[in-house]
Amino acid sequence: MHALVIHAPHDLRIEETPTPEIGPQQLLVRVRSGGICGSDLHYFLHGGFGTVRIREPMILGHEVSGVVQEAGSGVDDILPGTRIAISPSRPCGSCQYCQQGLQNHCLDMRYYGSAMRTPHVQGAFRQQIVIDRSQAHEVSSSLSDGEAAMAEPLSVGLHAARRAGALLGRRVLVTGCGPIGALIVAAARRAGAATIVGTDVGELALSSALQMGADEVINVAENPDGLSRFTANKGSFDVLFEASGNERALRGALDAVRPRGVIVQVGLGGEMTLPVNMFVAKEFDFRGAFRFHEEFAVAVELLNKGLIDVKPLISATFPYTEATNAFELAADRSRAMKVLVSFE
């Protein structure tokens, strides 16, 4: 069985790996499709991000779908042959945060393909994987394997949307329309936003945001003052989703957010210098959004019912034997939104 193992920046290898043993309440899954995420790219391009670095070989990947090959003992509600999306969120269930329903803050989280802890948690870009029954979510026959793999990033978008509270009828701004920003556009539209404006500096991201439901997009590289018409009366957006991780994007949007507006920060960008006096005087509500937990089931249900369509975001699919090409395309924001790897 093959797996995609990162050893060092740009050193991604296809390696033979033993099929893991299946236990009770588990499933052996034949992986079919995997999406390349920003964190996978960071490992591939730079060997990590911030203090998180590859310290040993690690299988990448956490956005995957597949087919159940075998069900372990005690599993009687899912059959071999069932097509599934796999949730990579594996909280411990017993720490104080799990017991408060905040599984994404678990003190002992084992998220696939993460070098946050050592030994690293091996990922899911592999031909076979053993998972817990609770990680498997059946997908509709109307979905392709690639769409099913996108349940994971959609979960991130849904979680961000939920962090904003009710969006029905709200005016929403999304800064940064890469894959996550574009999925937030879709989630906000699905959640009933009345107006959605997206900004970015790239044309592919902006056109993708329109396809995912934005009413209007602004290229803030070409039109740096594009948000100024939303600044009257202290600002007109009820909610800002900041998905670029870029300080300028956040600062540039603040005048367009109304007093008591909610700003959901999704993009990771390290240190930012912010005009805190404006946060005080306009009483912004600036909230972080990180990963997801129960939103995975929601993502699959919305995809299964066709209530959100992620097809416009799929830029290309490569066989896993051409994984390096896939990662290189994924790294080019002018040509790719989501790049998929097929493990068949």
DSSP string, 304-319: HTTSS--GGGEEEEEE
Among 45, 130, 268, 331, binds its own copies (CB under 8 A): 268
| Neighbour count for residue 181 (Cβ, 10 Å) | 27
Q: 179-190 vs 151-163: helix axis angle to the nearest 10?
A: 60
For residue 104, the SS3 value is helix
Q: Which of 30, 110, 282, 333 binds its own copies (CB under 8 A)?
A: 282
Instruction: Write out the binding residues for its own copies, residues 20-79 only, by CB under 8 A.
Output: 50
Which C-beta is closer to its own copies: that of 31 or that of 187? 187
Work out which of 7, 67, 210, 286 binds its own copies, going by CB under 8 A. 286
Does residue 65 contact residue 149 with C-beta atoms inside 8 Å?
Answer: yes
Are 32 and 344 contacting, i.e. CB atoms less than 8 angstroms apart?
yes
SS3 assignment, position 91? coil
Closest Cα to residue 244, out of 155, 144, 173? 173
Chain mean position to CA 49: 17
Among residue numbers 83 through 142, which ones bind its own copies (CB under 8 A)? 93-105, 107
Return the residue of 81, 222, 233, 334 that touches its own copies, per CB under 8 A: 233
CA distances (Å), origin 342, targets 73, 234, 304: 29, 49, 21
Counting beta carbons within 10 angstroms of the beta carbon of residue 338, is it exposed (0 to 12), middle (13 to 18) or buried (19 or more)?
Answer: buried
The answer to the question of residue 166 lying near its own copies (CB under 8 A) is: yes
Structure tokens at 95: 């720490």
Task: Select the residue interacting with its own copies from 38, 57, 269, 312 (CB under 8 A).
Answer: 269
Q: Which position among 76, 168, 222, 334 is part of the footprint of its own copies (CB under 8 A)?
A: 168
238-267: contacts with its own copies (CB under 8 A): 245, 259-260, 265-267
- Contacts with its own copies in 287-316 (CB under 8 A)? 287-290, 294-295, 297-298, 301-302, 305, 307
Among 4-12, 38-46, 219-227, 284-292, the segment contacting its own copies (CB under 8 A): 284-292
Structure-block tokens of residue 249:
């994007």
# binding residues, its own copies (CB under 8 A)? 70
Question: Taking contact as CB under 8 A, which single stretch among the options 25-33, 143-151, 189-197, 329-337 is the one that binds its own copies?
Answer: 189-197
> What does residue 49 show for φ and ψ, rounded to 5 degrees?
-150, 145
Element of type H or E holding 148:
helix 145-149
Q: Candidates 35-43, 81-89, 159-167, 217-225 — which segment interacts with its own copies by CB under 8 A?
A: 159-167
Q: Using an 8 Å Cβ cutoff, are 33 and 148 in contact?
A: yes
The stretches of 61-138 forming alpha helices (DSSP H) are none
Q: Are 256 and 175 in contact (CB under 8 A)?
A: no
Shortest CB 70 distance to its own copies, Å:
25
Are residues 61 and 39 in contact, defined by beta-carbon separation less than 8 angstroms?
A: no
Piece in contact with its own copies (CB under 8 A), picked from 15-23, 222-230, 280-288, 336-344 = 280-288
Q: Closer to its own copies by CB, 133 or 234: give it.
A: 234
- Name the residue nearer to its own copies (CB basis): 141 or 277: 277
3-state secondary structure of 115: coil
- Taking the least distance from each CB to its own copies, the nearer of 31 and 239 is 239
Least separation in angstroms between CB 18 and its own copies = 31
* 291, 104 contact by CB (below 8 A): yes
Among 53, 74, 276, 319, binds its own copies (CB under 8 A): 276
Tell me how far, at minimum, the Cβ of 308 lies from its own copies, in Å: 9
Contact set with its own copies (CB under 8 A)? 50, 93-105, 107, 158, 161-163, 165-169, 187, 189-192, 194-195, 215, 233-234, 245, 259-260, 265-277, 279-290, 294-295, 297-298, 301-302, 305, 307
